[in-house]
Amino acid sequence: MAQTDDSTPSAGDMFTEMLRIQGETARQMIQAFLPEAASAVPADSEIRDWGESAQKLQAMWLQFHEQQASAAFGPDMPVPLFIDPAEWMGLMQGWYQQMPLLDPRRQEKLFLDGMALWEDVLAQYGLGPKGEGHPSAEPHLPRTDKRFADEAWREQPVFALIHQTYLLLAERVLEAVDAVEGLSEQEREQLRFATRNVLDAMSPSNFPLMNPVVLERTIETHGENLTKGMERLARDIERGQLTHTDGAQFHLGENIACTPGKVVHESELFQLIQYSPTTEEVLAAPLVIFPPWINRFYILDLNPKKSFVKWAVEQGLTVFMVSWRSADESLADITWDDYVRAQIEAIDVIRERLGVPGVHAIGYCVAGTTLAATLSILAQRGQEDKVASATFLTAQVDFERAGDLKLFVDDTQLDLIRQASKGGYLDGRYMAATFNLLRGTDLIWNYVVNHYLLGEDYPAFDLLYWNGDVTNLPAKWHEAYLRDCYRDNLLVEPGALEADGTPIDLRLIKTPAYVQAGREDHIAPPESVFRLHDYLSGPVRFVLAGSGHIAGVVNPPSAGKYQYWTGDLADSLEAFVEGATEHPGSWWTDWLAWLEQQGDAKVPAKGKRAPGGKGDKVIEDAPGRYVAQR
């Protein structure tokens, strides 16, 4: 754990002190507002016992972060800010000193608001100056949050006061961030992000002594829940990654990534899977899917009910999938040029294999960004007909409004990432931690509470298994991508970037395009994805899907979930939504109808349309070796 000077406590001391303060605050509030309930307060010795258990758990949590950092980045490398809470505290110390919340007038207002809040909350229980001894049948508290949805947070006034006070404080602190003077907009966004994450970590729901649900479970199980949680935490420390699901329940090629097919081509960077047809005829133009190499390809083939791949095959498409190889030292020199060349290689292999002039291509997330560059290069080379249509799933080319990920691309962050990339590649756990942090309440603290504190069993959830199946990234590509796209936004400047020796100009792309965005996407915000149509010269169909970066894409029609919006293109996403038509269910069927409009000719599903048949040399069964490499 990083050490600080004598005037600044270590992260471990901070959490210990936080526990003490929380416990003392609870006792003071009870004494001040609930003297008649003072006998219900645990004795000091009991509180110390709870505190010791809580401190052990918090210490193990901090040890998890420390060992994760050490395992991923080496003992001599600086720890990324979001790994070590002490680093966050140190970075923000100067900023917080400027916060208006420290102004005596604001402090006085916060105190008065807090007193008013306490009186109003206590009145719901018939206590305090406004209570008059008449408790409400069902307390109605002014602030709600899913972390405090359990009835236990409202059954006793002390826990209602604790979480309502926390929500008030969090609200005021976040408001104060916008009033800090002397910060650039980038620094202000970083402060907002850091503040949200620190506040999430400080939530009383994360501490055994302050969480009534955990207290009840601990009493019921005689502490077995905390013992089980500590054992799990020890295992996670060893593996260097937070566990989200029961991974033993999933087996590649058996109950996940199990659509039948063959690996028909491979290079050092990718394997190309062709899936076996299930219809007598198929669309003449085959489909190739380029998934993001930040994750495993089987997000689009999770299980038979959710699989986009299986569904597309059943609709009469010849489907190819690129399975990217997780980076190791042998891929240290891989750059964006190599991914562009890989996309062109896959397209050419499919064209030659099936004897077709062009393919339909899908690019998901970063692979969609790269597909745009690939299309520009093909256009300049007079080879645009190699791609009959292009589908962009949650893909960005204009990164001006790229969301919270832009917070990780200043010079300091890029330097940390550079130093963290051992052997020419970035450990996939680094990116997993980053994405988890973007939704810390859902992807970090929710699991801390459920599985470390409450001791609940892990769910067998395929999406979470995929989320934890991390991939390593080539360091040169990763740094250039963050710098050139996220930080400097060069991809939309004609000729500012090049790949494979050819300048990139997105305006040259005339390929018919289908652009899909997720309305609640926090990784590729919809207003950022929407801008893609501004740079394409061909016909564009834009579709806004319900939900986010994953569920907005992986939404089979049979599920009957969410919705999507279609309409005429407009100057802004807001204007598009105002004039759009909402449709229930999945956008997949809309996409298929659009794809068939690009050419509906069909051919028999025989010969090399059915991989692995007589005379067809293939490498191995799907899902192949690369997806299993760590």
For residue 624, CA distances in Å to 205, 277, 296, 542, 608 come to 43, 18, 12, 34, 18
DSSP 601: -
Cα Rg for the chain, rounded, in angstroms?
A: 27
Phi, psi for 25 (deg, rounded to 5): -60, -45
| Largest CA-CA distance found in the chain, in angstroms, rounded | 88
Question: CA–CA separation, 526 vs 537, rounded Å?
Answer: 20
Residue among 15, 75, 22, 52 nearest 419 (CA)? 75
Q: 115, exposed or middle or buried, with CB in 10 Å at 0-12, 13-18, 19+? A: exposed
Residue among 343, 376, 335, 338 nearest 503 (CA)? 376
Are 483 and 497 within 8 A, CB to CB?
Answer: no
Question: CA–CA separation, 601 vs 531, rounded Å?
Answer: 32
**pLDDT of 571 above 60:** yes
Q: Where are the alpha helices (DSSP H) in 355-402?
A: 366-380
User: Residue 79 — very low, low, confident or very high, per pLDDT cuts 50/70/90?
Assistant: very low
Stretch (H or E) spanning 339? helix 336-354
Residue among 550, 542, 557 nearest 587 (CA)? 557
Task: Please report, as a single letter, which amino acid is at residue 5.
Answer: D
Does residue 485 carry a catalytic annotation?
A: no
Are 293 and 363 within 8 A, CB to CB?
Answer: no
Question: CA–CA separation, 465 vs 273, rounded Å?
Answer: 21
Phi, psi for 574 (deg, rounded to 5): -60, -45
Partners of 224 in the beta sheet? none
Are 521 and 551 within 8 A, CB to CB?
Answer: no
- What integer pLDDT is reported at residue 596 of this predicted model? 97
Residue among 356, 294, 282 nearest 319 (CA)? 282
pLDDT in tens, 440-487: 777 778 888 888 889 898 888 899 899 889 899 999 999 999 999 999
* CA–centroid distance for 380 within its chain: 35
- For 71-75, 194-198, 267-271, 282-286, which range has the lowest pLDDT when averaged over its residues? 71-75
Specify the residue for token string 């699901």. 245
pTM as predicted: 0.80
pLDDT in tens, 282-338: 999 999 999 999 999 999 999 999 999 999 999 999 999 999 999 999 999 999 999
Mean pLDDT of the chain: 83
Question: CA–CA separation, 342 vs 293, rounded Å?
Answer: 12
Active-site annotation holder among 54, 209, 258, 365: 365
Cβ neighbours of residue 363 closer than 8 Å, sequence gap 6 or more: 290, 369, 370, 371, 372, 390, 391, 392, 393, 395
Residues comprising the chain, all counted: 630
User: Residue 88 — very low, low, confident or very high, per pLDDT cuts 50/70/90?
Assistant: very low
pLDDT in tens, 136-147: 778 889 999 999
User: Residue 97 — very low, low, confident or very high, per pLDDT cuts 50/70/90?
Assistant: low
In 3-state terms, what secondary structure has residue 581?
strand
**pLDDT of 266 above 60:** yes
- What integer pLDDT is reported at residue 239 of this predicted model? 74
**pLDDT of 22 above 50:** no
Question: CA–CA separation, 570 vs 544, rounded Å?
Answer: 13
Percentage of the chain beyond pLDDT 90 is 52
Residue among 320, 321, 311, 322 nearest 279 (CA)? 311
